[in-house]
Amino acid sequence: MSEHHDPLTMIAPVMLAPMAGITDLPFRSLVARFGAGMVVSEMVASVDMLNARPGTREKAELGLDQQGTAVQLAGREAAPMAEAARMVEGQGAAVIDINMGCPAKKVTQGYSGSALMKTPDHALTLIEAVVNAVNIPVTLKTRLGWDDALLNAPQIAARAEAAGIRQIVIHGRTRCQFYKGRADWAAIRGVKDAVGVPVIANGDIVDVASARQALDQSGGDGVMIGRGAQGRPWLLAEVAHALYGTPAPAVPTGQEFAEMVMGHYTEMLDFYGVVLGLRVARKHLGWYMDTAGTSAPLRRAVLTAKTPAEAIRLLPNALSGWTGQVAA
């Protein structure tokens, strides 16, 4: 990557959302191989990173030799946030993303994630500290507000832009909605109108049609896809092709699909070690079988396999029925 290349200048602004326990290095690598504007790491708590808590390494495993990887940091105090930002920049991250969107109770009770929307002045001190600590672009991911009475994303976004934030991702729900109801893409337009930096729409974008609708309604500059990519790592490349004319991905079907899944499975076992790998891989295998429409008995057999060898023996049978078309 040359000094002059701006990692936020994406040919197709279709980004992989950070998802705890899901967007680890093996999954991000797979999505990136099909094609994505940018992939974002799982959220790392800045304090955990500085104290090197067990498991933090895996989360922050940056994949630095790969195209645009942003590392997402969360925290509630300026000094550790700045310190963690310097640390990941030193390790080669292309972009740092500040999490002000996570609705999980354990995160918001620590007054980080989306709870920061309740204290914009304090949130701004974190943003300023991170921006001033590093030379790489810093972005922000947040929600429409804390609840329907506090829809302050446009005000926070404008202040964040003034503090040097280079791009803002808005999940079209409030914190109190968690993931319930429908994402309100039209409400993201208020943020788009408040800032000059790119605004990326996020929430309920699961296919080309919903991506197009989210862009139309939000007036956004791109989309971020999370749960829609589970079991379909090529989805971002499909959306980028449809919306921005990038090359279409070759979606694997039948035996090729089974081989792709077995490759991902093996990478997870290598990355985490067998014991943890088996546990982490289970949810991914479940999503792949959802995609393939695997029968219940076969699905159960794969998910209860006690050894990798047993799972790998069953996978071709479980997955080779996938034709590339979702059953009606």
Burial 229-239 (b: 16+ CB within 10 A, else e): bbbbbbbbbbb
20 carries a ligand binding annotation = yes
141 carries a ligand binding annotation = yes
Nearest-5° Cα angle at 282, 281 to 283 = 95
Question: Nearest to residue 162, comparing CAs of 204, 120, 208?
Answer: 120
d(CA 58, CA 315): 26
Catalytic status, residue 176: no
Question: Nearest to residue 28, comparing CAs of 229, 246, 281, 203?
Answer: 229
Burial 245-261 (b: 16+ CB within 10 A, else e): ebeebebbbeeebbebb
19 carries a ligand binding annotation = yes
Question: Nearest to residue 130, comparing CAs of 110, 151, 144, 116?
Answer: 116
Query: φ, ψ for residue 174 (rounded to 5)?
Result: -90, 170
- Tell me which H or E stretch contains 142: strand 138-145
Which residue in the list 8, 40, 49, 102 is annotated as catalytic? 102
72 carries a ligand binding annotation = yes
The secondary structure of residue 191, as a DSSP letter, is: H
Burial 115-141 (b: 16+ CB within 10 A, else e): bbbbebeebbebbbbbbebbebbbbbb
Question: Nearest to residue 154, comparing CAs of 139, 167, 166, 143?
Answer: 143
Sign of CA dihedral 237, 239, 244, 245: positive
d(CA 179, CA 174): 9
d(CA 28, CA 32): 6
| Residues noted as catalytic | 102
Residues of each annotated binding site for FMN: 18-20, 72, 141, 171, 226-227
Q: Could you tell me which residues are annotated as the binding site?
A: 18-20, 72, 141, 171, 226-227
